[in-house]
Structure 1
């Protein structure tokens, strides 16, 4: 007589415990109930209704992303190779999960295309001399594009600008000629 009740109670306890979740201090759980957004949970321990609620976790720490070296053309038609680094943070976990399928890939893609576009608006001298200005311009463009996704771009830095070997030799000859005068 008590065995069926005991089994039922054990099953109920197991189902209830299966809904417990833990989010670290740097994580937030974006919870959906039957496909609809139900709220943000965490940090700490919280409970999800088994079979009715599920979650996606968002990391709200500052993340870094390397933008691989890519060839771009400056305004004065010089082909250069540029690589950069980007620092971003999820400020709205719900929008970062709901508004874009993969915010990391989306941020990477928008940063790469924006880097090419910004370099294309400047001449080679400007790219070499005014990196801070270009970095700020790039950060503003990427930040404006990702704001709807709940992402804040904190900083963008061009790490290295490679100019073609022929162009380097010509610039060295020009600098030497200026010094000889």
Structure 2
């Protein structure tokens, strides 16, 4: 009888030890365990060493690190009826493990599907130029909408980045023609502004020179000096009527009727 008793006691001890070992769980610093007692939520445990009673309790591991999710390319029609393909990247993390497990079946898939529909809805309200020039504003709009809708699931959307906007070849050529026309318009405006400023400066210079006749003569002589510096065999220059009249008046002659020689 004693050997049978020892065998039975040894079996019980082995079973208890196996039960104890199977109840041990080790959770990392970034993990939490959602514990259910007989199917009902009990508490959230972790990190570190925890015990889960086999048969009575079940544990679901939840990762609290930031998840990087690639949003697949979406077909979007902008407000000005331009068809584009847009893809993005989504960053989120679990802030409430209890709601992430209880309130939604699969929070990862649910967040992915919600991100796709939200991306199409938000970009569809903007024109193509806004999509290309105001990405930061669009990123913020999508992030705020997703964060508000996933709050009930215990999810925090930290950031949304639109990665790429694909256009068809026809639209790319149209945008290139538009950019070229815009550059030509700016060039013409700059040229016109230069002509306007030059005309104003010349007008001011003419007014200053008209106040002193000697200034006009000095300017004329300076021009002759610049022309004479060129290595040419023939030199042709006009003689202003004002200078001829002045010279004739000093010589006591009759000034010519008009024109220049």
Q: Which TM-score band (shorter chain)? A: over 0.9
Q: With a CA cutoff of 8 Å and minimum separation of 6, indicate the structure with the bigger relative contact order.
A: 1
Instruction: Provide the secondary structure at the position in 2 that maps to 1:161.
Output: strand
Is the counterpart of residue 18 in structure 1 residue 28 in structure 2? no
Higher normalized strand content (fraction of residues): 1
What TM-score, normalized to structure 2? 0.68
RMSD: 0.8
Q: Name the structure 2 match of 1:161.
A: 165
- 4+ residue segments displaced more than 2 Å: none
Q: Name the structure 1 match of 2:77.
A: 73
Instruction: Provide the secondary structure at the position in 2 that maps to 1:18.
Output: helix
Cα distance in 2 for residues equivalent to 1:15 and 1:40: 22
Q: Name the structure 2 match of 1:63.
A: 67
Cα distance in 1 for residues equivalent to 2:182 and 2:116: 37
How far is 1:180 from its partner?
A: 2.3
Q: Which moved more, 1:54-63 or 1:12-21?
A: 12-21
Is the counterpart of residue 32 in structure 1 residue 36 in structure 2? yes
Cα distance in 2 for residues equivalent to 1:5 and 1:162: 73
Cα distance in 2 for residues equivalent to 1:48 and 1:105: 28
Cα distance in 2 for residues equivalent to 1:162 and 1:39: 47
Q: Name the structure 2 match of 1:115.
A: 119
How many residues align? The count is 181
Q: 2:175 aligns with which of 171, 174, 179?
A: 171
Unaligned runs of 5+ in 1: none
Q: Which moved more, 1:117-126 or 1:2-11?
A: 2-11
What TM-score, normalized to structure 1? 0.98
- Structure with bigger gyration radius: 2
Cα distance in 1 for residues equivalent to 2:7 and 2:179: 92
